[in-house]
Structure formats: structure tokens, C-alpha cells
Amino acid sequence: MNVPIYILVFNIIVFHFSRKNRSVWKKTFGSKKLFKLREGFCKVCGEDRYELLDAHRIVEGSKGGKYDVNNCVCLCTSCHRLQHAGTIKILGWVHSTKGNLLHYIDKNGEEQFS
């Protein structure tokens, strides 16, 4: 039987292999579900219940933003609503000696890095 094998590489890139020829025949980015599993918690409030997590695009889709690791942040449904209402502002990722940190303005108007 020729059943595809799915392998998770670099946390969200999925390679599909065929048992028949053992070669890569398709490369795709993982789904939003894989992204939520990889991130595991809301980057603003720390909520970690999977069913409450969303993948939010920093640059919105209508402006060419894609669902990829450089343009997405994991938010809970509450923080996601606050972001779209303008109460909090996700500014993007910044590189630091501690790794990539999310740069945002919280609901009190204070600049945060997490």
C-alpha cells in the first residue's frame, strides 16, 4: 500500500513523502493548527488552552500578509478581539539576545516585549 508519510520539520514546514519512491514530492507550510500547537500559548496574556488560541497575521491578508512564522503571532480569542478593536497593538517581532520577542502596546498603552 502506498500511504503518504507526513513529517514535521522546523516546527511548521511539512514534507510529504511517498513510501513507493521515498522522495519529497510536495512541500507546504503547515496549517494554523500546527502553528497553534507549536506556539502553545497567547503571547500577550499567556493563555494556554489550545481551543482558545488563534493565529493572528501581523500584516493583514488584504495588504499581502501571509500565514507564516515571520508574520504570525499566537493570540487567545480575547486578545485577538482586543487587537482588532485597537485596544492592543501588535507591532511585530524584534530580534534580541533572548531570541525573537513580540513587540506590542498593551491595553494600558505601555510598550511591551515578550
Extents of the domains making up the chain: 1-30, 31-113
> 10 Å Cβ neighbour count for 42?
23
CA distance 18 to 70: 29
Amino acid letter for position 54: D
Amino acid letter for position 6: Y
And the C-alpha cell for 34? Answer: 500546527
What secondary structure letter does DSSP report for 30?
P
Q: What is the widest separation between alpha-carbon atoms in the chain?
A: 58
Q: What is the pLDDT along the chain (114 residues), one digit of tens a residue?
A: 445 544 444 444 444 444 444 333 333 346 778 878 888 999 999 999 999 999 999 998 889 888 777 888 999 999 999 999 999 999 999 999 988 899 999 999 999 999
pTM: 0.70
31-113: which CATH topology?
DNA Binding (I), subunit A (1.10.30)
